[in-house]
Amino acid sequence: MVNLRRLQSQDQPQVLAIYREAVRGLAPERYEPAQVRAWARQAEADAPMLRRCLERGWGLVSCDSDGLPRAFAVLDPPERVALLYCHPHFTRQGRASALLEALEEQARRLGVGELRTEASVLSRPLFARRGWRVSWIEELRIGGIGFRRFRMALPLDLSLGRPEEGSGPGA
């Protein structure tokens, strides 16, 4: 069973560690060593950018029974999945899928008609399994190193996120 809870400010050190470990542990399967180093440095040198996203966005963490975060995801702004990372020792347990499903539900509740993201080579298959479609492929540079990522979008059926009449708060 996957336990999700809201991301809290005190989770930031663990979340940044998950980011670094996910990149260092999972990215070597599909990326060159220089790309892995450049990407992992974002959680160090550019941590202020990540911290702002964590503080500004709406996020969730997936925790074990010990309460420690093992994966996380953030909407920032509400129509964009900005971050979705899982510690490499806790992959293939349904954590990323559960987080993504919960973000989609939150976006529906907020009235977002379409979600978007910039998916890595690693995360693209997860998004595709959930019905996300590639809008275009882009090339970018991180720390002077070239990367390819996939702009993806998912139209949302807003009727799925609305509470039934008489079941919402104040009913």
Does the residue 168 lie in any domain?
Answer: no
Residues 78 and 29: their CA atoms lie apart, in Å, by: 31
Asked if 79 and 13 touch (Cβ cutoff 8 Å), the reply is no
Neighbours of 82 (CB within 10 A): 20
* Residue 5 dihedral angles phi and psi, to the nearest 5°: -150, 165
Residues 81 and 111: their CA atoms lie apart, in Å, by: 15
The residue range of the domain holding 30 is: 3-160
Does the residue 69 lie in any domain?
Answer: yes
pLDDT value for 65: 86
Does the residue 170 lie in any domain?
Answer: no
Partners of residue 116 on adjacent β-strands: 80, 153
Does the residue 103 lie in any domain?
Answer: yes
Residues 6 and 165: their CA atoms lie apart, in Å, by: 26
Does the residue 169 lie in any domain?
Answer: no
Partners of residue 147 on adjacent β-strands: 140
Does the residue 167 lie in any domain?
Answer: no
Residue 69, CB-side half-sphere exposure with 13 Å CA sphere = 28
CATH code of 78's domain? 3.40.630.30
**What tokens were used for 43?**
């959680």
Does the residue 171 lie in any domain?
Answer: no
**What tokens were used for 85?**
């990372």
The residues, any chain, with a CB within 8 Å of residue 109's CB and separated by 6 or more, are 161, 162
For residue 57, give the DSSP letter.
S
Residue-level pLDDT, tens digit, the chain, 171 residues: 679 999 999 999 999 999 999 999 999 999 999 999 999 888 776 578 888 999 999 999 999 988 899 999 999 999 999 999 999 999 999 999 999 999 999 999 999 999 999 999 999 999 999 999 999 999 999 989 999 999 999 999 877 755 544 444 333
Does the residue 51 lie in any domain?
Answer: yes
Residues 147 and 68: their CA atoms lie apart, in Å, by: 31
- How many domains is the chain partitioned into structurally? 1
